[in-house]
């Protein structure tokens, strides 16, 4: 492995930086991420209010914020590509975690690659990897599916299609659908399939439940369901 390297300056012109941010605990913010956010010409974010609070916590001036959302990314990506080609440095962040992973940014990165514009990732926390590392489920290979469809029929179809998938499956779910999602999983996988449900990762009330699906579903229902969830499904036949 190569030795660690430090960079002579925080940002370069005409460069897109993909900056990972904490998923809960502000102590997970990296020094390099802070340097880039301080130095970039503009910061693109999902919600300017959320990112504004993050910047304020680290005494970073917030007037360079611009909204960049899923709903408008197809329209906005060419505009920001032109800004990059004109020499601007841009930092792209999600509300939490690593941008472009179930968050906006894919289209802009794709355009940059197509047009030869430099894209530099600033790594940090990802909820999927954080949950996987602490789940006790097999981590040598996995399939990250992001957020599933909101409708029951589509969710069950996904689970049926992946019932015999040979590696750990990772999905995200919202507080509004966690109960229904676990019920759908129960209908497809049965009570003994090993799963993990992680909630409020890196925060004060972090919860990571691993075990047979029936037990985890019941325990999840008894606990607070605040926040977003990461669900991991082990391959059939795996035992803790």
In whole angstroms, give the CA distance from residue 135 to residue 194.
10
| 99, 109 contact by CB (below 8 A) | no
pLDDT of residue 2: 56
Q: What is the pTM of this model?
A: 0.91
| 204, 227 contact by CB (below 8 A) | no
Give the model's confidence band at 6: pLDDT under 50 very low, under 70 low, under 90 confident, else very high: low
In whole angstroms, give the CA distance from residue 167 to residue 78.
37
Cα angle vertex 103, ends 129, 168, to 5°?
Answer: 30
Report whether pLDDT(66) > 90.
yes
pLDDT of residue 226: 84
Half-sphere exposure (CA, 13 Å, Cβ side) for 3? 2
Domains 15-122 and 127-233 share a fold: no
Q: Which fold has domain 15-122?
A: Cobalt-precorrin-4 Transmethylase; domain 1 (3.40.1010)
- In the chain, where the domains are located: 15-122, 127-233
| 81, 119 contact by CB (below 8 A) | no
Across the chain, mean pLDDT equals 95
Mean pLDDT, rounded, for 88-106: 95
Mean pLDDT, rounded, for 90-119: 96
Long-range contacts of 204-207 (CB under 8 A, 24+ apart): 206/24
The first and second tokens of residue 227, run together, are 């926040």
According to CATH, the superfamily of the domain at 127-233 is Tetrapyrrole methylase, C-terminal domain (3.30.950.10)
Q: What are phi and psi of 69, to 5 degrees?
A: -120, 160
């Amino acid at each position: 492995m190569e030795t660690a390297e430090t960079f002579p300056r925080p940002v370069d012109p005409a460069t897109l930086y993909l900056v990972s941010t904490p998923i809960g605990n502000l102590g997970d913010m990296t020094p390099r991420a802070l340097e880039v956010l301080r130095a970039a010409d503009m910061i693109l974010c999902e919600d300017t209010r959320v990112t504004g609070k993050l910047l304020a916590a680290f005494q970073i001036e917030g007037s360079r914020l611009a909204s960049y959302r899923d709903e408008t990314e197809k329209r906005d990506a060419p505009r920001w590509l032109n800004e990059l080609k004109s020499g601007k440095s841009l930092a792209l962040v999600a509300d939490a975690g690593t941008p472009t992973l179930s968050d906006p940014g894919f289209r802009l990165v794709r355009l940059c690659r197509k047009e030869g514009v430099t894209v530099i990732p600033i790594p940090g926390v990802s909820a999927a990897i954080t949950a996987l590392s602490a789940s006790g489920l097999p981590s040598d290979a996995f399939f990250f599916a992001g957020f599933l469809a909101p409708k029951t029929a589509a969710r069950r179809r996904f689970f049926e299609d992946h019932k015999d998938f040979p590696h750990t499956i990772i999905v995200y779910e919202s507080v509004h659908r966690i109960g229904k999602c676990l019920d759908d999983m129960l209908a497809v996988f049965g009570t003994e399939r090993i799963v993990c449900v992680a909630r409020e990762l890196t925060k004060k009330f972090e919860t990571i439940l691993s075990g047979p699906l029936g037990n985890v579903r019941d325990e999840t229902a008894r606990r607070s369901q605040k926040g977003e969830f990461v669900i991991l499904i082990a391959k059939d036949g795996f035992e803790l």
